[in-house]
Structure 1
Amino acid sequence: MSVEGPPDFIPSYQVIPRKHDTLRRLSRLVVGAEVYLATDPDREGESIAWHVADVLGLQAPKRVRFTELSEATVKAAVAKPERIDMALVEAQEVRRVWDRLVGYTVSPALSRRYGGSWSAGRVQSPAVRLVVEREREIRDFQAATYFNVRLYGQSAEGTWWLDLVGDGTQPDGRLTTRAVADRLAVLESVAVTHCADEVERENPPPPFTTSSLQQAASVELKFAPEKTMELAQALYEHGHITYHRTDNPNLGDGVLGAVTEVAEALGFRCVGTLRQFPVPRSAQRGHLGIAPSAWERHAAGETADERKLYAMIWRRALASQLEAAAYLVRRVEASGVDLGKRAVQFVGRRRVLQSPGWRALMLPGVEALYDAEDPETPQAAERDSDNALPLVKKGGWLRVGRGEVEEKKTRAPQRYSEASLIRRLEREGVGRPATYAEILRRIRNAEYVELKRRRLHATPRGEQLIDALAGRFGFVDLAYTREVEEQLDGIAAGEKQRNAVLGAFYDRLMDEVSGFDFGCPVCRKRPLRHMVGADRETGATYDYWVCLGERKGDCDGAFADKDGSPDIDRPLERRASAPAPSSGTPCPKCGAAKLRLIPGGVSAGGKRYGAFWRCDAPRCGEKFWDKPNTRANAPKEVVK
C-alpha cells in the first residue's frame, strides 16, 4: 500500500504476490454466483469485505456479520444480508493512511538524524514512551523509610487487630518518626468511634474482551499476548468461542436461557435478567464479549494450551451471569491519644464469605489480581476473615494486649509486564484490541524494549527514540492518540470528513518534520543525513553529515559532527558526484523513463553496495543490480 499526498491522500493497493493464486481461484468461483461476504464484524473486517469485492469486481455482494461460527448464527445472518458499510471502510482506510503518513515521514527523518535504521509509529511510539518513562521513574526513585503501627487484642473468638490510619498529619497512617510510632504501640486501650456489620455483595467480572483476555492469560497461564491471540483464533475457527477481537464485555441477548440451564445443572444460581457491564465509549458496534459458542461444552480445543484458554473463557463467561458473592463485613474504628494531645485513628475490618455465588466457579485468588494496577504483582494481603473483631458499641473501649511497629520503605514502581502495559494502553485509549499483541512484537523487534523475567525494560535505543520524538511530534502524546481515535469514530459515524481530518493531521506532521530535520545550508533544498557507523570490512569508523542531494550529483554539502548535530562551521571537502549517466533505454518495469547508473558506495549502516541502475521516474524508482563489465550495454544485461 502506498499513499498519495494532499489534498486527497488516495491510497494505492497492490495484491500481495503470494495471494495471486487465491485470487485466481476466487475469481473463478464467483462467476455467476451469489456472493456473501462474511469477514470479521468490525472496522477491519468491513474493510476486508470491501477490498474483496473491489478486487473481484463484485457488483452487489451481500454482507453478513456474525460473532460466532455456529449453524444457527450463520443461518440467521445469511437470512438477513446487508450492504457493506462504507463509513466503516473509510474510517479504517483513514487509520491506515494516517499510520503510513507517520511511518513514511518520521521514520526516514529519524534515520537521517541518527544514522542507521529507525522506525516510528502512531501507536507503537506512545507504547515505547510509557516503558521509557517508567524506566526513568525507577532510575530516579529514592526510597523513604516510614513506620506502621498495629494494635492487637483478644476477643472470645480469637485475636483481633487494628491498624493506624491517621495521626493528624499523615492521613495514610505512614509515620516518618520512629519515636511517635513507639509511643503509639504502647497504648493500653482505644475508644470505639464506629462499629457496624453489613452484608457486602461482590459482582463477578465481565466476560473477556481482547485486552482483558490477554492480561488474564498472561497472569494465569503465563501466555504471551501473541500466543494468546493465536490460540483464540484457533478456537474461533473451530467454532468453540465467539469472535475474539472485541472491546465490548457484554453477552448477546438471548443467551441467558442457555447459561441458566448449564449453571443449574452444575448447582449454581443465575441472575434473573442478563447482567450488563459498562462499555467503553470507543467500543466498536456489533462486538460482544468473548464466550463459548456452546455453553454446555465444558472443554474444547485441539491442544493442551487451547483447552486451558477455553476453560478460562468458559469459566469467566459463565461466572458473569451467576449470583453475586456475599460477605459479612464488620468494620471497627477507634481512636487513641498520643501524649495526651494528638488524636490518632485506628481501623480494623473483618470480612467473612457467607455465600460464594460466582466465586465457587473460579480459581481461588486469581480474579482479584486482574483489577490491580499491575496485574502481574500479587499483593500479599492478609485474610480479613481471620481478624476476630468483637461487636462493640460506639463509645466502648477495646483493651490492647500489645502493639507492634513495622519499619518499611517506599517502593519504586514496577516495570510494565506485557499484561500491565496492555492495561495501560487500553486505559489511555491507545491502539485497538486487535493490535496490542502486534504492538508488543514490533517494539521488541525494533530493540526499543526487551523482555526480562516477564518485565519490559527500556533499552538505550528506546530512550534515544523517545528523547528524539517527545516534545517535537504530537503523535507520541497519549492525549493526541485519544483524539485520533475520536476523529476516526467521527468518520465511522459520518460526522467528520475524511480529507479534512487527514489534511489537518498532515499539515501539522509536515511542520514537525521540517523542524526536526537539519536543512543543508549549501543547496537549501534538501535535509542533511547523519552518516555514522563503521565499515563492516575495514572496521574504520565514520561520523559526518551529508546532503541528500549528493547522490543525485547536485549538492556537495558535507559537515563534521558535533555532539549529534552537523557542525556548519566545519564543512568537509567533498565533491558532489557527477550526474549518473543515463542508458537511453526505457525501464523494463514502467517502460516510460530511462535507466540511470548509480555508482556503488557505503550505506548509512556501514554496508558496502555495488553499482546499480535506477529508473528515473519518481513513481517507479525500480532498481537493478549492475552486471560486472557490461556497462556499455547494461540495460540489456542488468540482473534483478
Structure 2
Amino acid sequence: MKKKLIIVESPTKSRTLAGFLGDEYQILATMGHIRDLPKSRLGVDVDHDFKPEYVLMAKKEEAIQKIQQEAKKAMEVILATDSDREGEAIAWHTAQILRKIPNSKFQIPNFLSRITFHEITKAAIEKALNQPGKINKQLVNAQQARRVLDRLVGYKLSPLLWRKIRRGLSAGRVQSVTVRLIVDREREIEKFKPEEYWEIWAQLSAAVHPGGVNDILAKLVKINDKKADLKTGIQTKKVVSELKKANYQVEKIEKKEIFQNPSPPFITSTLQQKAAQTLYFSGKRTMRAAQSLYEKGLITYHRTDSVVLSKQAMAKIRRYINSTYGEKYLPEKPRFYKTKSKLA
C-alpha cells in the first residue's frame, strides 16, 4: 500500500512524529541541510544578482537517495521541517532535488506540500496536516541572503586578515561586527578612572518583644543628613569610631506587600540569558538542548521572538497547575503577554 511520505530534518523528530501518526505515514529525515555553497570556491555569481551555486553536501548522498526512492513510491510527499529560515531552506532544497527526478510526479500541483507547526503534539501535527500550504519563498530568500553575505564577507575579508595580521584568522558577517563592539567597549574600560570608596555596615541586635532578639544588618547611608560619601580608609575609620560610641533606636517599622508578576514565556534571547546565568551554559549548548526538547515534543518552538501562547496551550497549563499544585495556585484568569518585537 502506498503511504504518505513526511520529510523532517532529524531522526529524533522523525521518531516523535511516528509516535503520533498511523501506518499510513512514512517519516524520513534529511539529517540537517542537504545542499550548501561549495567549500573550495566562492560559489556566488556576483555578476548576476549574487546568484548562489548549490552543491550536495558531503555524506548526505545516502539520506538523499533514500528520500528519492521512497518519494517515487509515495502517494504524497509532505515537507515538515522547522518553520524558521533554516527549516524553510531545507524544505526548499529537498523540493528542488525531488523536482529534478525525470518524468516525476512532483510537477503535479499539491503532490508536494509544506506543513508547519510550533509544538510537536498530536493535536498540532493533525491540525497542520489538515491545513497544508506551500514553501514560503520569502523565508527561503532571507536564508539565502544571510548565507551569501556570510560567504562574501568570509571569503573576501579573511585573506586580508591573513596578509595584514596572521594566517588562520577569519572574518564574518556577525563575528567581525561583534569584535568591533568588544574593542569599543574595551577602550571605554581603559579610559575609566577608578575612584576609591568605602561603605559601612553594622550588625545590630534589637529586642522586638520580651525575651526575643532580632539581628539587623544596617548600612550607613547618611551622615548629618547628607549622603555618606567615604573616600578613604582613614576617613571611614574615624566615622566607625564615632558610630561605636553611639546609641541606636528603631525609628519606624514598615510592612509592605510586594507583588511580583511572573516572567513571560521564554523567547530565544531570554532562554539563553537565563541558562547562562543559572546553568553557565553557552548559547550553543542551550540551543542544542532546546532543539532536543522540542523534537521530543516537550517544549514549543524555541527560535522565536514571540511570547504569545495559544489558547490550547494555556488551557493545558491551567489544568496542570490545578491538578499538580491545587486551585489555590491557579489564577482566576489566564495571563497573556504581548510580543514587543514587530518582527516576531
CA distance in 1, matches of 2:57, 2:286: 27
Return the letter of the residue paired with 1:39. T
Matched, 1:79 2:130: yes
Q: 1:258 aligns with which of 316, 322, 343?
A: 316
- In structure 2, relative to structure 1, the CA distance for the partners of 1:179 and 1:224 (3 Å cut) is closer
Q: Which residue of 2 aligns with 1:147?
A: 198
Match of 1:235 among 288, 293, 313: 293
Q: Which residue of 1 aligns with 2:5?
A: none
C-alpha distance in structure 2 between counterparts of 1:233 and 1:161, whole Å:
46
Alpha-carbon separation, structure 1, partners of 2:45 and 2:342? 29
Instruction: Output aligned runs, 1:2-81, within 5 Å.
Output: 2-6=43-47, 8-31=49-72, 33-57=75-99, 58-59=106-107, 60=109, 61-81=112-132
1:35 maps to a residue whose letter is V
Q: Distance in 2 between matches of 1:13 and 1:170?
A: 70
Unpaired segments ≥5 residues, structure 2 = 1-36, 38-42, 100-105
Equivalent pair of 1:256/1:273 in contact (CA under 8 Å): no
Is the 2:88–2:136 Cα contact (8 Å) retained in structure 1?
yes
**Cα-to-partner distance string for 1:128-148 (whole Å, 9 max, x where unaligned):** 345555666666766532122
Contact 1:236 1:244 in 2 (8 A): yes
Aligned length: 283
1:273 aligns with 2:333: yes
Supply the distance in 1 between the matched residues of 2:342 and 2:174 (Cα, whole angstroms). Answer: 16
Map 1:86-485 → 2, pairs under 5 A: 86-132=137-183, 143-150=194-201, 152=204, 154-156=206-208, 158-165=214-221, 173-178=228-233, 181=236, 185=240, 186=242, 188=246, 196-268=254-326, 269-277=329-337, 279-281=339-341, 284=344
Gaps of 5+ in 1: 285-640
**Distance in structure 1 (CA, Å) of the matches to 2:224 and 2:85:** 55
- Over the matched positions of the two proteins, sequence identity in percent amounts to 36
- Per the normalisation by structure 1, the TM-score is 0.39
Give the whole-Å Cα distance in 2 for the aligned partners of 1:276 and 1:145: 47
Decide which structure has greater helix share. 2
3-state SS of paired residue (1:36): strand
Retained in 2: the 8 A contact 1:217–1:228?
yes
Q: Is residue 107–residue 120 contact of structure 1 (8 Å, CA) maintained in 2? A: yes
Partners of 2:146 and 2:45 lie apart in 1 by 15
* C-alpha spacing 1:196/1:221, structure 2 compared with 1 (3 Å): closer
Aligned-pair CA distance for 1:197: 3.4
**Which residue type is aligned with residue 330 of structure 2?**
C
| 1:116 to 1:169, Cα distance in 2 relative to 1, 3 A | farther
CA contact (8 A) 2:161 2:169 kept: yes
Distance 1:167 1:91 in 2: 61
* CA–CA distance in structure 2, aligned partners of residues 124 and 25 of structure 1: 37
- After superposition, the Cα gap between the structure-2 partners of 1:181 and 1:64, relative to the gap in structure 1 and judged at 3 Å, is same
Q: CA deviation at 1:47?
A: 2.2
Q: Is the 8 A contact 2:306 2:341 kept in 1?
A: no
Deviations 1:48-105 (A, max 9, x none): 2222222221444322111222221100111011222222222222222222221122
AA partner of residue 53 (structure 2): S
Structure-2 separation of matches of 1:193 and 1:154: 12
Structure 2 CA distance for partners of 1:263 and 1:101, relative to 1, 3 Å: same
Distance change (3 Å), C-alpha of 1:202 and 1:6: farther
The within-5 A match list for 1:481-630 is: none
Letter in 2 for 1:43: R
Matching residue's letter, 1:156:
V
> Normalized per residue, which structure has more strand?
1
Tell me how far 1:191 sits from its aligned partner.
10
Q: Tell me how far 1:123 sits from its aligned partner.
A: 0.9
Task: Give the drift of 1:276.
Answer: 3.2
The aligned counterpart of 1:519 is none
Describe the shift of the 1:235–1:143 C-alpha distance in structure 2 as closer, same or farther (beyond 3 A).
Answer: same
Query: Which residue is 2:7 aligned to?
Result: none
SS of match in other structure, 1:35: strand
For the pair shown, which has the larger CA radius of gyration, 1 or 2?
Answer: 1
Shift in Å at residue 195 of structure 1? 6.7
Deviations 1:432-471 (A, max 9, x none): xxxxxxxxxxxxxxxxxxxxxxxxxxxxxxxxxxxxxxxx
